[in-house]
Structures are given as structure tokens and as C-alpha cells.
């Protein structure tokens, strides 16, 4: 029985193809068995392929999203104030 002494590197194309296969309905378990890749690795690739997954955003991107939300709230407040002032 062989033991792995170094981490196996997978190409970007392979990782993307595994993520796209999972999006077509294939389970990570079946892909793991078929392509001899650990389920944890496949799950990580699937999460990374999801553009709405906030766990993979950088700190800068998270800060920008937070600032964007705050600015939208300020705009809403100003719009309501403008409506109130226009009524008077």
C-alpha cells in the first residue's frame, strides 16, 4: 500500500470541470470515487466555483460590500427625507 508523501496538484481546468459536473447534479461522493479525489477537496472546489459564496471573498471585497450596503441605506434615508420635505 502506497502512502502519499506530497500533495497532489490538480490543474485549474480539472477543478473547474469537477465543479461544473457537480452543478449538473452529480454528487461529490460519486465524483470522489470516480476521479479519486477526496470529498473535502471536491467540496472546496465547488464552494470556490460559487460566485455568491461570501466565504471566498477577500477582506477588501467584504469591506466594499459592507460600504455599499451602508451607502444604499443612506440613499434610502435621503430619498425619504426629500419626499417629506416636498410634502411640506
Reported as a single tens digit per residue, the pLDDT across 32-62 is 899 999 999 988 888 888 766 655 667 787 7
Stretch 64-69: mean pLDDT:
92
Residue 19: count of CB within 10 angstroms of its CB? 18
**pTM, two decimal places:** 0.49
Q: What is the pLDDT of residue 2?
A: 47
- Angle at CA of residue 33, ends 28 and 38, nearest 5°: 65
Amino acid at each position: 500500500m502506497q502512502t502519499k508523501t506530497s500533495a497532489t496538484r490538480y490543474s485549474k481546468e480539472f477543478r473547474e470541470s469537477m465543479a461544473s459536473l457537480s452543478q449538473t447534479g452529480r454528487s461529490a461522493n460519486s465524483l470522489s470515487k470516480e476521479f479519486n479525489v477526496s470529498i473535502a477537496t471536491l467540496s472546496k472546489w465547488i464552494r470556490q466555483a460559487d460566485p455568491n459564496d461570501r466565504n471566498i471573498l477577500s477582506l477588501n471585497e467584504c469591506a466594499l460590500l459592507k460600504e455599499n450596503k451602508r451607502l444604499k441605506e443612506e440613499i434610502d434615508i435621503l430619498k425619504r427625507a426629500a419626499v417629506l420635505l416636498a410634502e411640506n
